[in-house]
Amino acid sequence: MPIATRAFAAVAADKPLEPYRFDRRDPGPDDVAIEIKYCGVCHSDLHIAKNDLGGTRYPIVPGHEIAGLVTAVGGNVSRFKVGDRVGVGCMVDSCRTCAACQEGEEQYCVPGMTQTYGSADPLGEPVSQAITQGGYSDRITVNQDFVLRIPDSLPLDAAAPLLCAGITTYSPLRHWNVGEGSKVAVVGLGGLGHMAVKLAHAMGAEVTVLSTSDRKKADAERMGAKHFLINSDKAAMQAAAEKFDLIINTVSATHEIAGHLNLLARDGTMVMLGLTTEGMPVFAMPLLWRRRAVAGSLIGGIRETQEMLDFCAEHGIACDIETIAPDQINEAYARMEKSDVRYRFVIDMAKMA
């Protein structure tokens, strides 16, 4: 029996999201059926709903920061049982055979991971569902290998955004070996940015936030930032030259990045996380004189996502959230576009009409 599912979907780039009903597949032998309790609202959801990147297929149910409870498992599933607290992030499957998958970096799967929403759905949702549909919904069925365990000490609502904002910032902090004494700058204090601050601080780094205004200064300090700069303050930017080993750039829009390169110390790297499609000029001179680099990073693999959840439990870290009802999603998007989020909206599915 397919699982009747209530959701909110984007139906066109210029229309508000609206209630949407569809069926999820009944769990197969390797599947876990989940009742979604909470889903975080990522800026990527907004990019896809509004077709910022091109190619969005409608209707689409966004949402890839899913936290809920297991309601049923298939016959081959031994790691999860009914009632377990679980999470699902940005991926629900991958090819499993390419080098990236074999190394546990499924997000870089060569033929392409199956994204939680908007990917061709090889398993085929039963009712006219050619693409996967995400977490702004009350039910989901996911292959057990792409289900994460949410530690008991983390509240489900504040843990939900860890499934994207958490892993997307944890992975580059680990990859670039952030530890005791590292100097890390975080550009943009939104959903990703606030997690980057908390995680880098917990790893022992000295953290600086670069923001467009001073509105979030007190919050940044509470999260563990030692310094706070306004990007447009030329004198402050000048004074911070050559200071940072790593810059985590979470800005969700095209912006001037050349001026940030001088902030990097020798061998420093700026990691771009924002999903922007326009070019942003970078000049060779500031790079070569200090062997600096500009890099990118995409979410993180399943094994690393579990490691991040366990790290958060161990360090008592979760997201700062503002809980909303599903029908407040359009208002939440409007506020997100104004950078007015402290620091992640999370949809409470119990409030689904």
Query: Binding residues for Zn ion, per CB under 5 A?
Result: 42, 44, 94-95, 98, 101, 109, 164
- Helix-strand-coil split of the chain, %, nearest 5: 30, 30, 45
- Closer of 36 and 195 to ligand NAP (Cβ): 195
Cβ burial, residue 82 (10 Å; 0-12/13-18/19+): exposed
- Closer of 94 and 171 to Zn ion (Cβ): 94
Among 7, 148, 273, 294, binds ligand NAP (CB under 6 A): 273
253 binds, among Zn ion, ligand NAP, none (CB under 5 to 8 A by kind): ligand NAP
275 binds, among ligand NAP, Zn ion, none (CB under 5 to 8 A by kind): ligand NAP
Q: From 296, 264, 310, 23, select the one nearest 149 (Cα to Cα).
A: 310
Q: Which stretch binds ligand NAP (CB under 6 A): 110-118, 209-217, 235-243, 313-321?
A: 209-217
95 binds, among ligand NAP, Zn ion, none (CB under 5 to 8 A by kind): Zn ion
CB of 8 to Zn ion, least distance (A): 16
Q: From 3, 66, 63, select the one nearest 33 (Cα to Cα).
A: 3
Helices H / strands E in the chain, number of each: 11, 19
| Residue 330 tokens, joined | 């359009």
166 binds, among Zn ion, ligand NAP, none (CB under 5 to 8 A by kind): none
End-to-end alpha carbon distance in the chain = 23
CB of 72 to Zn ion, least distance (A): 27
Alpha-carbon gap, residue 155 to 323, rounded angstroms: 13
Kindly list the residues in this chain that would bind ligand NAP in the complex (CB under 6 A): 42-44, 47, 164, 168, 188-193, 211-212, 216, 250-253, 255, 273-275, 297-299, 336, 339, 341
